[in-house]
Structure 1
Amino acid sequence: MGNKTSCCSYTSPQASHRVIIPIDHTLAEGELSVSNLQHISEREGDDGDADPSQDPTAKTIFMERSKTAIENGMIRRKSQHQIADLRPLKKSSSCSTIYLDDSTVSQPNLKNTVKCVGFAIYYHIKNRDSDRTIDIFDEKLHPLTRDGVSDDYDKHNPEHRQIYKFVRVLFNAAQLTAECAIITLVYLERLLTYAELDIQPSNWKRIVLGAILLASKVWDDQAVWNVDYCQILKEITVEDMNELERQFLELLQFNINVSSCVYAKYYFDLRTLAEANDLTFPSEPLSKDRAQKLEAMSRVMEDKYTAEALKNGLKKWSSLDNISNGGIPSRRSVAILS
């Protein structure tokens, strides 16, 4: 269940069933609930620390653990400004041309978002605080392949490319959306906070699999059944997937709510992480057709906000775009787009 236009609106589960693509083997936030019962999203951690997967003001864990990489990226870019660089210059907007990429908070770019989530998982593993895990996530106890794992499976940190490939295969085969990737990261960090464990070489695949499994059911309109993942990961059993989902939900205390502000925070933090790792989102000049579509979307959201404000008895304040003088309609300057 989910809604592609809003990151906090959920509907009842749909009866539709997603077709798996075959692959080669190789309540409003802060509001009290009915009868003054505390909503699950209002719970606070026992340790008093803010939960980044619920509190929009708390820093995401992956940003904290990738701080060194981000700082090094800033230093590298600063030195490149001081020293002549032979690479092509980055395109910048001007008065005549506006450059935009194809990724927005409501419709992120799938490939780059999955890459960014891979970077976040990579820094989680690389800069983890402990090696505490839980049996259900241990890949030696619950292998994903018939061959199992090597004796030193818990010793070597995976590279980003390995993490990205694992996540990409699941997303491509199950036809999951970029929004689902962001929700996956939210659930992953919520699990680490609630269960007080760390993602590491021995458990990262099963933790990521559990987060994707849950996010796909909560977020996407078309259901991805547990048996579908058995078609992607050939050696895993449906009983194992059921148990993984059950324990994941229990560790989350069945709190699967994700507010719009938390979703937006994770999206923009992933953009920051992408820039620090020189991952660029493809940009192109703003065309007239796209400008008209963006304006139409803006009008729809403005009308929706106005209707909600009037319904709730709120005063709609004037802005520079809506000022009228003596009953004379405001004049708009029209940008000329080539």
Structure 2
Amino acid sequence: MPQLTLEPNPSDDPRASTIFLRKYQTDVQEKRKSSCTNHVPTKHFTKKYSSCSTIYLDDSTVSKPHFTTTVKSDADKSLDIFDEQLHPLTQKKMPKEYFEYVPEHKFIYRFVHVLFKATNLTAEFAIVTLIYIERLLSYAEIDLCPTNWKRIVIGAILLSSKVWEDVTIRNREYCKLFVNTSIEDINELERQFLQLIDYNIKVSGSVYAKYYFHLRSLAKDNSLHLPVYLLNKERAQNLEAVSRIEDTKIFYSATMRRSFSADNFITLQRSKAIIS
């Protein structure tokens, strides 16, 4: 029997193209918008029903439930944590139309920019945040929609700031930014995010570099020019120093600072992973 070839995950494999670049190149915005607004899974149209002449049975029982269906059901329940309709970020009730249309680029930028400014995070964290977002989309087999994109972004920023920043940002700080959220909600958001990416917080140098250059390519294609400066002796020395540091730096620095395995996750959850 021939083995199935699994598509490489871009957040883990430096050779795989990033999700955002593939979507930009193939322009699937209308398809994504339709699937998000209609919320009608195609599986309902292929469901089989029993009749007098034909009876259909599944192989799931109380003592031995069907593995795939059970796991997917648990995953679907976990994904509810990202639904802004179920977990609103503001006290103001948003109109139904708000969740039916893909937000404009400037609206997304403003939302992310405010978060990064409020938490004093630099551009490197934006790249790691994007990697975590794509890892979630790949592992959980979901897509960004008007109803979930904000909370997914918050979860990714929250995780990247704790893994890659020496000074940990407390979850209570995010509650100050979103007055309608509770510390329990933010803690659960972080916990479910970690669980859905299988606690894989590792980012290799090659994967990080791939996302960096793909972002530069996307910026160039959309006429978002980076500021350029005259290369002088001082700037050349600074660049050389940074390059030497990065050559010897282990991107998965979280492994050195703290152990993050399934065995001690409960201990970590009480200390560093989730800080109220």
Fold match (TM-score > 0.5) = yes
Structure 1 pair 234/47, CA: closer, same or farther in 2 (3 Å)?
farther
User: Which position in structure 1 is the counterpart of 2:149?
Assistant: 204
Distance in 1 of aligned mates of 2:244 and 2:121: 29
Runs of at least 5 residues in structure 2 that lack an aligned partner in the other structure = 40-75, 250-276
The 2-side partners of 1:253 and 1:296 are apart by 35
Q: How far has the Cα of 1:218 moved from its partner?
A: 0.6
Return the match for 1:268 from 213, 216, 219: 213
Q: How does 1:281-296 map to 2 (within 5 A)?
A: 281-296=226-241
Q: From the superposition, tell whether residues 201 and 178 of structure 1 become closer, same or farther in structure 2 (CA, over 3 Å).
A: same
Give 1:48's aligned residue.
Answer: 6
Distance 2:246 2:200 in 1: 29
Distance of 2:112 and 2:227 partners within structure 1:
21
- Which residue of 114, 123, 131 corresponds with 1:186? 131
Give the residue type in structure 1 aligned to 2:166: D
Q: Percent identity?
A: 53
Question: What letter matches 1:280 in structure 2?
Answer: H
Out of 119, 128, 145, the position equivalent to 2:32 is 128
Q: Quote the residue 1:164 is aligned against.
A: 109
Contact 1:65 1:127 in 2 (8 A): no
Q: Is the 8 A contact 1:51 1:193 kept in 2?
A: yes
- Verify the 8 A CA contact 1:140 1:148 in the aligned structure 2: no
Question: Does the aligned pair in 2 maintain the 1:139–1:149 contact within 8 Å?
Answer: no
2:119 aligned partner, one-letter code: A
Aligned residues of 1:180 and 1:215 also touching (Cα < 8 A):
yes
Q: Per-residue displacement from partner, 1:274-330 (whole Å, max 9, x unpaired)?
A: 00110010112111221233345567778x69xxxxxxxxxxxxxxxxxxxxxxxxx
Which whole-Å CA distance do the structure 2 matches of 1:62 and 1:195 have between them? 16
- For the aligned residues, what is the CA RMSD? 2.4
The structure having more radius of gyration, on CA atoms, is: 1
> For residues 43-122 of structure 1, what are the structure 2 equivalents within 5 Å?
48-68=6-26
- One-letter identity of the residue aligned with 1:254: Y
Question: For residues 238-280 of structure 1, what are the alpha-carbon distances to aligned partners after superposition, in whole Å with 9 as ceiling and x for unaligned?
Answer: 1110110111111111111111100000000000010011001
> Quick check: 233-242 or 255-264, which moved more?
233-242
Task: Provide, for residues 153-196 of structure 1, a one-character-per-residue CA deviation record: whole Å limited to 9, x for no partner.
Answer: 32111000000000011100010121111010001000000111
The offset of 1:232, in angstroms, is 1.6
CA shift in 2, pair 1:275/1:205, >3 Å:
same
Structure with bigger RCO (C-alpha 8 Å, 6+ apart)? 1
Structure 1 unmatched runs, 5+: 1-45, 70-122, 306-338
Query: Structure 1-normalised TM-score?
Result: 0.56
| Change in 2 beyond 3 A, CA 1:296/1:237 | closer
Q: How many aligned residue pairs are there?
A: 205
Distance 2:5 2:244 in 1: 44
Deviation at 1:53, TM superposition (A): 0.2
Matching of residue 246 in structure 1 with residue 191 in structure 2: yes
Instruction: Tell me how far 1:148 sits from its aligned partner.
Output: 2.8
Structure number having the greater helix percentage: 2
User: How far apart, in 2, do the equivalents of 1:138 and 1:301 lie?
Assistant: 38
Residue 228 of structure 1 aligns to a residue whose secondary structure is helix
* Distance apart, 1:68 and its partner CA: 4.9
**1:231 paired to 2:176:** yes
After TM superposition, the score normalised by the length of structure 2 is: 0.68
